[in-house]
Amino acid sequence: MGHGLSTALQISALWVLFNQTMEKDLSLCERLTWINEASMQYFSDGSFGAAISFDIIFNQQTISLCSAGISKILHIHNNSLRTLTVLGLFLGINRDEKYEEVCIPIKQNDSFFFLTDGLYDEFIEKDHQDLNDFSRFMDRLREIAERKDLTDDATALGIYIKSK
């Protein structure tokens, strides 16, 4: 998206649109499609937004993901770090964009990490296969995010699937 006043207004508009979809009977990807179409008026030439929508369905032991520009999700499964790819065009670029849902089985002790590109790009520069623990992983992300030399945003959401 960017930085500054116009970005703040766009984020506010997206917040309202996301909240409005919660009152509608829509699937994850239908929500992003609706938000994308409704948000077109808030993005000027060259600006766009990134979003990820997900549902964790514990009784089915799955996570469903739908992405608008956040295509790489990090997943710790069976003590091994892997990158999941969830494709979808950024919000505000193509009014007719359709999004696809990816459904992944989850197990106890799985972790998912949703990173902005500024943090993801810094993170993948080094080998992090030793990070198979949620707390250590979050500590490493925090170290990167707090560096003074970063030039892009560095935001992460980590989810740990605990035991029953």
- Calpha distance 8→10 (Å, rounded): 5
Beta strands in 25-143 (DSSP E): 51-57, 62-68, 72-77, 80-85, 101-105, 111-115
- Work out the number of other CB atoms within 10 angstroms of the CB of residue 17: 20
Identify the sign of the CA torsion 11, 46, 48, 3.
negative
pLDDT-derived band of residue 141, with 50, 70 and 90 as boundaries?
A: confident
Nearest to 101 by CA among 40, 156, 55, 57: 55
| pLDDT(12) > 70 | yes
- Structural domain total, the chain: 1
Q: What is the pLDDT averaged over residues 60-73?
A: 93
pLDDT at 57: 92
Rounded CA separation 119/78 (Å):
24
Q: Which are the contacts of 155, defined by CB distance < 8 A and separation ≥ 6?
A: 115, 116, 118, 119, 145
Residue-range definition of the domain harbouring residue 123: 5-160
Distance CA 45, CA 108 (A): 44
Percentage, residues of the chain above pLDDT 90:
45
CATH code, domain with 100: 3.60.40.10
Report d(CA 90, CA 39) in Å as an integer.
11
pTM confidence score: 0.83
Strand-pair partners of 11: none
Encode pLDDT of 113-130 as tens digits: 998 877 887 777 676 666
Identify whether the C-beta of residue 39 lies closer than 8 Å to the C-beta of residue 92.
yes
